[in-house]
Amino acid sequence: MRAALAVAVVSTLLLGPRVQADQAQGVGEVTFPNSGAPAAQAPFLAGLAQLHNFEYASAADLFREAQQIDPGFAMAYWGEAMTYNHPVWMEQDLSAARKALERLGPTRDGRAAAAKTPREKDYLRAVDILYGEGAKPARDLAYASAMAGLHHAYPDDPDAAAFYALALLGTAHGGRDFAIYMRAAAVVEPVFRDHPQHPGAAHYLIHSYDDPIHAPLGLRAARAYSKIAPSAGHAQHMTSHIFVALGMWDDLVSANETAVTVVDAGRASRGLVPSACGHYNFWLEYGYLQQGRFSKAKQLVASCLEAARRANPTPPLGGQILDPDNTAAGSFAAMRLRYLLDTEDWTSDVAAWTVDSRGGLRTEIALEFGTGYAAAQSGQRAAAGSALDRLARARQALEASLAGNEAGSAQSQAREWARLLQSQLAAVIQAADGGRAEATSKVRDAAALEDGLPIEFGPPAIDKPSRELLGEMLLSQGKPAEARAAFEQALSRTPERTASLRGLMRAAVESGDTHKGDELRTRLRTIWRLADQIPQEIR
């Protein structure tokens, strides 16, 4: 034990200057005593920081660099294996992870023997549980238990605490679970206090508090994280999870503009064109739309359209692609839909834009919903009905493709999303045909279903929040008091969303509450001070 302690102390001394070098690289400050060769410390530490930043590809490259320098460096193989598990996203590349570990040793016992200290052996045993036998949900739970034991055994190890907190987040298989997320926050709060430059501490706190109820608790971490890891695009974007949950649109836009800049600089260094689609661009578009900067949002949609048309779409292999960020076509479909719903520019050229949807059925559903919704709102009844029929067929095919798959949050969310979109579009078409009472009843049912879903982070997971749609239908029927309640409920899930604020303002005025109407008008003028054009109703 004393020998192991001596190795740890020597390693800590050796890591001192390396830590500062990593911090200078702009990815955060980490310490991780280990028995690897001194020459392998710089890439290992940078890889560890990028692992905490969810910059997984970069982290894997750095860990492999450390392996090349020191082929017997057990923790470098552990690190690479860790890059293939994405707990918050419920993603895992089991095959790639096992191959990385097998390069260290063909068996668990062999890998544990390659680790030179008791602490390293514990980390190796834990990751072997993560990638062991059995279904992923069971392995996630067993891994979280192993990390709880490791955290207990090494209470002064900030990474043990951080990875334990992250493992807890990865056990929320049914979607956001407040009890699990608060347990994770309790584990990582002391790390953030004692190691304020640790990238994982700030990052995992943001994830833990990433909902409208708890977001105020995450604002400290969000303000800190962008400065901790200025060279990590995900770190810059991640701060906006708290900003969107609080309706802080200027901060949301600034964070994602920076994230896109960081990512594009990295792409340029590799000879690649700027990224026109994807997660950060989608969130940036949403921020522009909330600010009323529709022309900026439209530019983003147009750029993604060009990228999607240049891409070579292929049918998804091994199941549906459920995350629209994972294909250019899926990203475009999501951005186009977001633009149409939040601008209400139903007859714009954007409504006619389309791409090959072979990237997946989710892409097709988003395209058809946007087409049908715009057609219904602009009086094109036949086109709307045709889009609804195509959406229904795509939804049926999606259900069939997911049947028998391992149940998980991504699958269940995709099912409920498709179900709600079909129900909403049917209601909008029915309302346009004059059946407003029946349509409103359908949307009430949709709203009740959506209320029962876990709160999702980011822009509305159900692209047109059902309570917002209900409020708009009630206003059209001259029921401002009921509409007001619907908009208030919508805003509890999507704070400061401008479509709901505008609806609430109208409902307040029409129900005789001019004071509330004036208050909301002032709020909207502030939010829209950079807008292309201030709507007459809020001037």
The pLDDT assigned to 10 comes to 29
Mean of pLDDT values over 417-428: 97
* Pair of tokens at residue 193: 């206090």
Least confident of 15-19, 133-137, 488-492: 15-19
| Cα–Cα nearest to 2, from 115, 81, 117 | 117
Instruction: Report the pLDDT averaged over residues 103-132.
Output: 95
Calculate what percentage of the chain has a pLDDT beyond 90: 86
Q: 175-189 pLDDT, tens per residue?
A: 889 999 999 999 999
**What is the model's pLDDT at position 359?**
65
* pLDDT for residue 296 is more than 50: yes
Span 527-532, mean pLDDT?
Answer: 95
Task: Calculate the alpha carbon distances from 17 to 22, 24, 58, 109, 201 in Å.
Answer: 9, 11, 21, 34, 21
Neighbours of 330 (CB within 10 A): 28
Q: Give the angle 525-527-529 at the CA atoms, nearest 5°.
A: 60
At 357 the pLDDT is: 84
pLDDT for 16 equals 38
Residue 75 has pLDDT above 80, yes or no: yes
Q: Which of 274, 227, 258, 218 is nearest to 250 (CA)?
A: 258
The per-residue pLDDT for range 332-358, each reduced to its tens digit, is: 999 999 999 999 999 999 999 999 887
The per-residue pLDDT for 3 is: 30
Q: Can you tell me the distance from the alpha carbon of 346 to that of 332, in angstroms, rounded to the nearest whole number? A: 17
| Confidence class for position 506, pLDDT limits 50, 70, 90 | very high
CA distance 176 to 457: 9
Q: What b/e readout covers 235-259, taking b as 16+ CB neighbours within 10 angstroms? A: bbbbbbbbbbbbbbbebbbbbbebb
Rounded CA separation 436/327 (Å)? 37
Mean pLDDT score, 368-385: 97
- Residue 274 pLDDT > 50: yes
Nearest to 85 by CA among 162, 177, 163: 163
Residue 438 is predicted with a pLDDT of 95
Task: Tell me the one-letter amino acid at 201.
Answer: A
The pLDDT confidence band at residue 446, using thresholds 50, 70 and 90, is very high
User: Which range is least confidently modeled, 103-107, 261-265, 441-445, 533-537?
Assistant: 533-537
Quick one: tokens of 33? 């005593």
Confidence of residue 77 (pLDDT cuts 50, 70, 90): very high
**Cα–Cα dist 274/179, whole Å:** 40
Q: Give the tokens for residue 417.
A: 């999303």
Q: Determine the residue type at 442.
A: K
Eight-state DSSP code of residue 538: G
Task: Give the Å distances, CA to CA, from 314 to 100, 327, 328, 398, 470.
Answer: 28, 10, 11, 17, 38
Q: Quickly state the pLDDT bin for 245 (edges 50, 70, 90).
A: very high
pTM of the predicted structure, to 2 decimals: 0.92
Q: Which residue would you say has higher pLDDT here, 292 or 311?
A: 292
What are 412-417's contacts with CB under 8 Å, separation 24+? 412/174, 412/175, 413/175, 413/322, 413/453, 413/456, 413/461, 414/320, 414/322, 414/362, 416/449, 416/453, 417/362, 417/461, 417/462
According to the model, what pLDDT value does residue 408 have?
Answer: 63
Q: What residue type is assigned to position 402 of the chain?
A: L
Looking at residue 407, its pLDDT comes to: 52
CB atoms closer than 10 angstroms to residue 467: 27
- Burial class of residue 442 (count of CB atoms within 10 Å of its CB; 0-12, 13-18, 19+): buried
Instruction: For residue 95, count CB atoms less than 10 angstroms from its CB and return exposed for 0-12, middle for 13-18, buried for 19 or more.
Output: exposed
| Cβ 77 vs Cβ 104: under 8 Å | yes
Domains and CATH numbers, the chain: 2-269 (1.25.40.10), 279-464 (no CATH), 465-539 (1.25.40)
Q: With beta carbons less than 8 A apart as the criterion, state whether 139 and 97 touch.
A: no
C-beta separation of 270 from 260 below 8 A? no
Q: Distance between CA 165 and CA 150 in Å, rounded?
A: 12
Residue 428 in this model has a pLDDT that exceeds 50: yes
User: CB-based contacts of 503: which residues, under 8 Å, 6+ apart?
Assistant: 468, 471, 472, 475, 483, 487, 490
Q: Phi/psi of residue 55, each to 5°?
A: -90, 70
**Is residue 412 very low, low, confident or very high in pLDDT (cuts 50, 70, 90)?**
confident
Q: What span, in angstroms and rounded, lies between the C-alpha atoms of 199 and 177?
A: 23
- List helix spans (H) across 408-462: 409-432, 436-451
Residue-wise pLDDT tens digits, 88-97? 999 999 999 9
The token pair that represents 445 in the structure block? 């049912």
In angstroms, the first-to-last Cα distance of the chain is 72
User: How many whole angstroms separate alpha carbon 147 and alpha carbon 252?
Assistant: 33
